[in-house]
Amino acid sequence: MEIKASKGTRDILPPEVEDWQLVEETSRRIFALYGFREIRTPIFESTDLFVKSTGSDTDIVTKEMYTFTDRAGRSVTLRPEGTPGVVRAALEAGLLRRLEAERFYYIGPMFRYERPQKGRYRQFSQIGVELLGSAHPAADAEVMEMALALFSSLGIGDARLQINSVGHAECRATYRVALREALVPHRDRLCPDCQRRLDVNPLRILDCKVPGCAALKEKAPSILDHLCDDCRTHMSRVQEALRALDVPFTINPRLVRGLDYYTRTTFEVASGGLGAQNALCGGGRYDDLVASMGGPPTPAFGFAIGADRLVMLLGAVVEGQRARPACPSPADVYIVHLGQAGFDEAFRAARALRSRGVATLFDPESRDLKKQMSRASACGARYTIIIGDSEIERRAYALKRMSDGIQKDVAAGQWDEITREVTHGGQQRVGA
């Protein structure tokens, strides 16, 4: 029986994995510039955590969680999103009693039982940030600008920011009534889920992807007309701050997002390069979540980027700019060995060079000079070192620079000198 990867999961192989590393390294670098530090929380948590924070009426909680009972009878869930775990961890470690805002980022797998398609998986990876402890509209703008800075430093040109405000709980309550009134006459045209939502949580209808419901969105009143003075002021100050940072954006009054805890600002970044699943990043403000989880009142702002989608876009950027090398991790040195003595020496040489930081490859299986030489150029090695019987006799290796084929002898066993040759400074001296 052939065992395959589970539906909605996939293996990430070289060379794609190198794009992932680039995305992760760039994220770490950019986030550090804004004072964010990494947090790593467990991949499974008690099911209650997500029911109480993500929201008992969200698609994530009602349809998409990987929930199971462990051997002691506890209900646990593979995390479908990062925010609840980060907030729980910060509370548990007592970090939210400090005066200063806490800035965290995480990178890791999330799990949702969704219908898999391009850009949508059951195990996917998110890069997320949480700023805990600031209510200031500048914090919203700063964090959104950081997401865009990350996309632009990865060369992703068409990342478009949309913002909205969902107000605070009271604004939403009045909006809910208005929304329900506007949609009740169209109840029959809503999908069965949304017919139920119309009575329990009509805001969720704005997030429904079923075409009939999506079309009805046009009939929905704008939530921006139902904001209280404070929420309206917050929204306009966020816009001012974005303008001050030269961040282009559009306002989308239908943007509510699929999680229950958002207050005031919500936002999404989309890219045309992604096709149907075009959302690259989503997030917003969640001023009530920490307190609802038993913590001190802590206004907060965060986002999550879909790393799979970001890598997909990056792939397109990279393809457009340059062809990938046949072997994506070019070695500094490829050692070609001939005969048993040559092999023994190559084995030791590889260790000596690697311990000096020189990326070194050799193929213990091959005895064929031509094959080894073509492998050396296929994998983009900058130098080859040839070690055969005559080299061992002469106590010198043949060092060949691949860019121009120039070859010279280097004294055997002089690893420091060889390292200098193949790293810096060796370029001019070879063959001189």
- Interacting residues toward ligand AMP by CB under 6 A: 81, 112, 114, 119-121, 124, 126, 258, 279-282, 304, 306, 308-309
The residue (of 65 and 331) whose beta carbon lies closer to ligand AMP is: 65
CB of 114 to ligand AMP, least distance (A): 5
The residue (of 37 and 118) whose beta carbon lies closer to ligand AMP is: 118
The residue (of 109 and 330) whose beta carbon lies closer to ligand AMP is: 109
C-alpha span between 295 and 381 (Å, rounded) = 56
| 241 within 8 A of 146, measured Cβ to Cβ | no
The residue (of 125 and 372) whose beta carbon lies closer to ligand AMP is: 125
CB of 121 to ligand AMP, least distance (A): 4
**What are the C-alpha distances in Å from 15 to residues 19, 28, 137?**
7, 21, 41
C-alpha span between 428 and 351 (Å, rounded) = 26
C-alpha span between 109 and 125 (Å, rounded) = 4
DSSP state letters, 283-322: EEE-SSHHHHTTS----EEEEEEEHHHHHHHHHHHHHHH-
| 341 within 8 A of 316, measured Cβ to Cβ | no
The residue (of 84 and 299) whose beta carbon lies closer to ligand AMP is: 84
The residue (of 207 and 287) whose beta carbon lies closer to ligand AMP is: 207
The residue (of 81 and 287) whose beta carbon lies closer to ligand AMP is: 81
Q: Bridge-partner residues for 337, per DSSP?
A: 387
Side-chain half-sphere exposure of 276, counting CA atoms within 13 A:
7
Q: Which residue is nearest to ligand AMP (CB)?
A: 306
Residue 172 in tokens: 């939403």
**Strand (E) positions, 257-406?**
263-271, 279-285, 300-306, 333-337, 360-361, 383-387, 396-401
Kindly report the backbone phi and psi dihedral angles of residue 374, in degrees, each rounded to the nearest multiple of 5, phi listed first. Answer: -70, -30
CB of 156 to ligand AMP, least distance (A): 13
CB atoms within 10 A of CB 224: 17
Local structure of 332: helix, strand or coil: coil
The residue (of 120 and 189) whose beta carbon lies closer to ligand AMP is: 120
CB of 86 to ligand AMP, least distance (A): 13
C-alpha span between 388 and 22 (Å, rounded) = 39
Give the position of tokens 């997401």. 147
CB of 335 to ligand AMP, least distance (A): 42
The residue (of 304 and 346) whose beta carbon lies closer to ligand AMP is: 304
The residue (of 146 and 386) whose beta carbon lies closer to ligand AMP is: 146
C-alpha span between 275 and 268 (Å, rounded) = 15
- Sorted by sequence, the CB contacts under 8 Å of residue 390 that are 6+ apart come out as none
Three-state SS string across 107-158, please? Answer: EEEEECCCCCECCECCEEEEEEEEEECCCCHHHHHHHHHHHHHHHHHCCCCC
